[in-house]
A and B are shown apart, each in its own frame.
Chain A
């Protein structure tokens, strides 16, 4: 079945710096790759997603890139702010099914 690997598990950056989180997936039929942000004690919430027919998508300070050949995708956050501190999860939908398989998560800490 689909396996989604996420790195790093923890990331600490200074306010204003950029943060990059990377994920790899195993099922080449996957075609939807969302990123979720989960604050402590809260529900995961979608922050950006990308489909396999595009290579990059941007929304203000957040961008996602997808390399289908290498089967990896990345989240880029620029000009980080303390409120960006949270756990971030990548996900993929194996064999174009409705379910999502999540990565293990990255704890991002933005130091003021």
Chain B
């Protein structure tokens, strides 16, 4: 296992289009997180799962954003009707419940034109 992997690494889209990002966590990790990071800022929490259950979703998260983890393994983050303000790096992380240490993926960079 080589760590958390994310796909695609880069996505350029036009405003109004839908995009989907995929995250494959470290295989034995039961928690999976999505964060958003813009230039010069810390990672901003979006949502997280324990196994297949979505335990929390940020109140700041627009209803255009939806995340799933159907079988408790990989997860997808979909953004509908993208806006220029959605341009950011979308980071996925995973952890074990027992330790809480987050292992991050390399991120998926979204550019909305």
* Interfacial residues, chain A to chain B (CB-CB below 8 A): 6, 32, 34, 42-46, 49, 89, 91, 93, 97-105
Cβ of B107: which chain A residues have Cβ within 8 Å of it?
A: 43
Question: Is the interface on chain B under 10, 10 to 19, 20 to 34, or 35 or more residues?
Answer: 20 to 34
* Interfacial residues, chain B to chain A (CB-CB below 8 A): 31, 33, 35, 40-45, 48, 50, 55-56, 91, 95, 97, 100-107
Question: Would you mind naming 19 contact pairs between A and B with Cβ atoms under 8 Å apart?
Answer: A34-B102, A43-B104, A43-B106, A46-B101, A46-B103, A89-B42, A91-B42, A97-B55, A98-B31, A98-B50, A98-B95, A98-B97, A101-B45, A102-B42, A102-B43, A102-B45, A104-B41, A104-B42, A105-B41
Contact present for B48 and A99 (CB under 8 Å) = yes
User: When A43-B106, A105-B40 are in contact, do A99 and B45 touch as well, CB less than 8 Å?
Assistant: yes
Partner of B45 from the list A32, A49, A100, A104 (CB cut-off 8 Å) is A100
Cβ of A45: which chain B residues have Cβ within 8 Å of it?
A: 104
Cβ of B104: which chain A residues have Cβ within 8 Å of it?
A: 43-45
Contact present for B33 and A105 (CB under 8 Å) = no
Cβ of B91: which chain A residues have Cβ within 8 Å of it?
A: 43-44
